Amino acid sequence: MQPFDEGYMARREEQIKELYEQRSMSWACLIAGVILALISVPLLIRGGIWGPIVLVVAALFGLGALFMFAGIRGQMAADRAIQEEYERLVMLYGQVSEKPKRGSRETAVQVSDDGELVAEDSPEDHFRARSGRE
């Protein structure tokens, strides 16, 4: 049994890339919010409508950054939990249980016409199954 399927590494690289992109966007959003908040201070002191507007935009940037950081932390926690579960399965069973593939002979359950389980393949069952596929 392979620990990964063929596309695992490509999918994992894509996930890591998205995680780093989201992290850098979160920092950019936080920095933009702080800069806008600093800009809004003199505008609020001077009076007028632009001070409160810039402060609201800064608060929106800050809240966006907060939610993005929370999403990153959630994704990292989920990755850790999945890895721990994988390690636990390997420790318990020696391999990771996986879903049986459709049509595999090891997992196929044969049922007779009256609904009872068939223990072994008889030659006529094998012939009937082959003729149905062709």
Q: Is residue 113 part of a domain?
A: no
Q: Is residue 54 part of a domain?
A: yes
63 has pLDDT over 80: yes
In angstroms, the CA 120 to CA 128 distance is: 14
Q: Is residue 62 part of a domain?
A: yes
- 121-133 pLDDT, tens digit each: 555 555 555 555 5
- 10-60 pLDDT, tens digit each: 888 888 898 899 999 999 999 999 999 999 999 999 988 999 999 999 999
Average pLDDT over all residues of the chain: 78
Q: Is residue 111 part of a domain?
A: no
Q: Is residue 45 part of a domain?
A: yes
Lowest mean pLDDT among 53-62, 66-75, 93-102: 93-102
The parent domain of residue 14 ranges over 8-99
Q: Is residue 116 part of a domain?
A: no
Q: Is residue 25 part of a domain?
A: yes
Backbone angles phi, psi at 111, to 5 degrees: -125, 135
The number of domains in the chain is 1
Long-range contacts (CB closer than 8 Å, 24 or more residues apart) made by 27-36: 27/65, 29/61, 29/62, 29/64, 29/65, 29/68, 30/61, 30/62, 30/65, 30/69, 32/61, 33/58, 33/59, 33/60, 33/61, 33/62, 33/64, 33/65, 34/58, 34/62, 36/61
Q: Is residue 119 part of a domain?
A: no
Decide: pTM greater than 0.75: no
Residue 12's pLDDT is: 80
Q: What angle do CA 33, 75, 15 make, to 5 degrees?
A: 95
